[in-house]
Amino acid sequence: MRDLFRGELVRLTTEEPDAYAKMEVQWQKDTEFHSLMDGDPATVVSEKKLKEWFEKRNESSLKPGRHAFSIRALAEDKLIGFFGLWVDLIHSEAWVGIGIGEREFWNKGYGTDAMKLCLQYAFTELNVHRVSLGLMDYNPRALRSYEKAGFRLEGRTRGDVQRAGKHHDSLWMGILHEEWLQMQNREKQ
């Protein structure tokens, strides 16, 4: 059985609420990062409030269908980001949201490596039928990374997000279990 939580560049783990809160306080200062991650307006939240929020999330991740992970770079075990999986149990579909908050780790394959682990977890542990995600059209780096991971572009909702005086599309992507399996087989050869 393969190691679900260890990749080539990163490992998946979990943090205490106060560790998450501390990282989030730093990452929320980077509004470019926020814009790439989230269609909601950027804001500033106190460390105290963030800690409460992460404590609450800890409780709800014991419910079926919710899985949150932190991402640590193997070198120095540095906490660089996080991802969450939310599963629709009836239709066996998982939604993923991923973010690498530490800029020095952008464009170096860390995100792609984390996504690989994420898909492996989703398809071989959660046994979902498909994994979905959304991103903004002004995030070409993420689009390339997700395409490399095997996601296919399924469409775009036009003018969905308004930012910096312009309307942008939200891109919708999905990967099916059988597509992921085919990719795994091709990679073995």
The stretch among 53-61, 70-78, 116-124, 168-176 that binds another protein (CB under 8 A) is 168-176
* Pairwise CA distance, residues 35 & 142, whole Å: 13
> Which member of 53, 139, 160, 183 binds another protein (CB under 8 A)?
160
> Which member of 17, 65, 97, 109 binds another protein (CB under 8 A)?
65
Is residue 31 a contact residue for another protein (CB under 8 A)? Answer: no
> Which member of 57, 143, 172, 184 binds another protein (CB under 8 A)?
172
Is residue 34 a contact residue for another protein (CB under 8 A)? Answer: no
Torsion 24-143-120-107 (CA) sign: negative
* Pairwise CA distance, residues 93 & 89, whole Å: 7
186 three-class SS: helix
**Nearest by Cα to 123 from 150, 152, 153:** 150
What interhelical angle do 177-188 and 110-124 show, nearest 10? 120
Is residue 64 a contact residue for another protein (CB under 8 A)? Answer: yes
Residues at the site binding another protein, with contacts judged by CB under 8 A: 39-41, 64-65, 89-93, 126-127, 129-130, 132, 154-162, 167, 172, 174, 176
